Structure 1
Amino acid sequence: MKNSIIAFATLLLLVACNKNESKTNLHITGNVKGLKEGTLFIQRYADSALVAIDSIKIDGNSAFESNIDLKSPEMLYLYLDRGVTNSLDNNIMFFAEPGNINIDTNLDSFITSAKITGSKNQELYEQYKKINSRFNDENLTLIEKKFKALKSNNTKAMDSINNLQDSNTKRKYLYATNFAVNNKNYEVAPYIALAEIYDINIKYLDTIQKSMTPKVANSFYGKKLTKYVKAIKETEKN
């Protein structure tokens, strides 16, 4: 009888554990080299503000882990509370998706040293950013030239630079559109449309929206893009 009671209690415990495990589908692990003490927060955007969905206390061991219930692939943030230090280098963006994701970085260069593995959407987003940075760098160069032309009152140079900036912006937006369409099977596609080129001509956003696979269209960002495109079309009708 005693053995039966123990066995029954063990069974209940296992069921309870399985229920708790089923509540989370994203396992985040990582290491912040050099971090001895502090707090890490997993954050997401909600109502136009970052809100914490988990916190990890670091006390001597720089390794960390977190378990999150993720309804759909989503851009999350790993925020480091440095305490008295007001550093801007304290929030790592990462495209989370169900499964196992690892984030390794260090205290001195928290964002720039971050290596994120385990997410296909993150991998694709990093590919996108690598090319997109070239357009951003070119625009910064043009801004510098524009400032010099303005300083010397060189209107001919100003007009030429303005044309180059317009061309650079068009190429940037066209690249983003093509990238999103070519990766229509992943949630990074609607995310790029919403976060990077939301002000592009509606026909391009419409193309991205219509190219999404059913799975992506039903995702968090897929639904947002569909709603956004619909709202723009209705506004243009009025």
Structure 2
Amino acid sequence: MKRSILALMALVLLTACNNNDHGDTNLHITGNIKGLKQGKLYIQRVVDTTLVAIDTIVINGKSSFESHLKIDSPEMLYLFLDRGQTNSIDNSLPFFAEPGNMKIETSNDEFFYRAKVTGSKNQKLYEDFLQMKTRFTNDNLALVEKNLEATKNSNVKQLDSIATKADQLIRRRYLFTANFALNNAKHEIGPYIALSEIADVNIKYLDTIQKNMSPEVAKSLYGKMLTKYVAERKKAATEAVK
């Protein structure tokens, strides 16, 4: 009986120790990079416009990985793959991290394009935004192609038409982005999109997005950044009038 009690106590202590292995971390990331046998993974965050590694994972024969991190609020992180090849360009994967359990699955050959990230509501919204952004990018590329052809043929009338369509496309993109940020101002993706995509838009749009943030989002990393940015632009505008 005494041995059973001692064994149970030992098990409880062992479990307690295991639970404290990762300190006060609140983000658990697991993942797998199919086909990767060797390399290094860096999980990075932006600090003063510079990417800084907050975790380093060595891949040596096993393509799965995991990381335990502490983040104060949801934020955009970057999973960087170092294959040991300086000419590799498909090596950085942005993902919107938030406290909890997240999973990243991708492949060595198509690290960015095959990536599937789950466990984050903000990430899902970010992917929805990127899908629409791709449409605007494709429309712009089509106009660039037509512009080159019109320039080659010295077709002034067509060049004017293309310029008008390009301006309309820019306005549509800005309006869509502003509406997306406003509609998702209750999530951290809202202020992030506002800051990263349309920081130069008319201040009234940013002000509206900022005022529609939930109290929780307003206290987050990007919420605070947007509030500060809006205040700075308002101050600059006021001083410019004087």
State the TM-score, normalized to the length of structure 2.
0.91
Distance 2:59 2:95 in 1: 20
Q: How does 1:141-152 map to 2 (within 5 A)?
A: 141-152=142-153
Q: Which amino acid aligns with 2:211?
A: K
Secondary structure at the aligned position of 1:229 is classed as helix
Q: Tell me the CA shift for residue 181 of structure 1.
A: 1.3
Q: What per-residue deviation string (whole Å, max 9, x for no partner) do you get for residues 153-173 of structure 1?
A: 222212111111111111111
Report the secondary structure of 1:94's partner residue.
Answer: strand
Alignment gaps of 5+ in structure 1: none
* Deviation (angstroms), 1:134: 0.7
List per-residue Cα deviations over 1:136-184 (Å, max 9, x = no partner): 1101111111122222222221211111111111111111111111112
Q: Distance in 2 between matches of 1:15 and 1:108?
A: 40
1:9-158 equivalences in 2 (<5 Å): 18-158=19-159
What is the CA–CA distance in structure 1 between the aligned matches of 2:80 and 2:16, rounded to whole Å? 34
Q: How many angstroms apart in 2 are the aligned matches of 1:97 and 1:225? A: 18
Write the letter of the residue equivalent to 1:42: I
Percent identical: 54
3-state DSSP of counterpart to 1:224? helix
Are the equivalent residues in 1 in contact too, given 2:98–2:120 (CA < 8 A)? yes
Q: Secondary structure at the match of 1:108?
A: coil
Equivalent position of 2:174 in the other structure: 173
CA distance in 2, matches of 1:89, 1:80: 9
Q: Distance in 2 between matches of 1:12 and 1:60?
A: 33
For the 8 Å contact 2:150–2:159, the answer to whether it is kept is yes
AA partner of residue 73 (structure 1): P
Count of matched residue positions in the alignment of Structure 1 and Structure 2: 237
Following superposition, the deviation at residue 48 of structure 1 comes to 1.0
Alignment-derived partner of residue 199 in structure 1: 200
Aligned to 2:190: 189
| Aligned mates of 2:210, 2:18 — CA distance in 1 | 40
Aligned AA (1:150) = T
CA deviation map 1:42-68 (0-9, x unaligned): 011111111100011111110000001
CA displacement 1:85-115 (0-9 Å, x = unmatched): 5210000110000001100001110100000
Q: Given residue 96 of structure 2, which amino acid in structure 1 is its aligned partner?
A: F
Which amino acid counterpart does residue 149 of structure 1 have in structure 2? Answer: A
Q: Counterparts of 1:18 and 1:29 in 2: how far apart (Å)?
A: 17
Matching residue's letter, 2:72: K
RMSD value over aligned CA atoms? 2.2
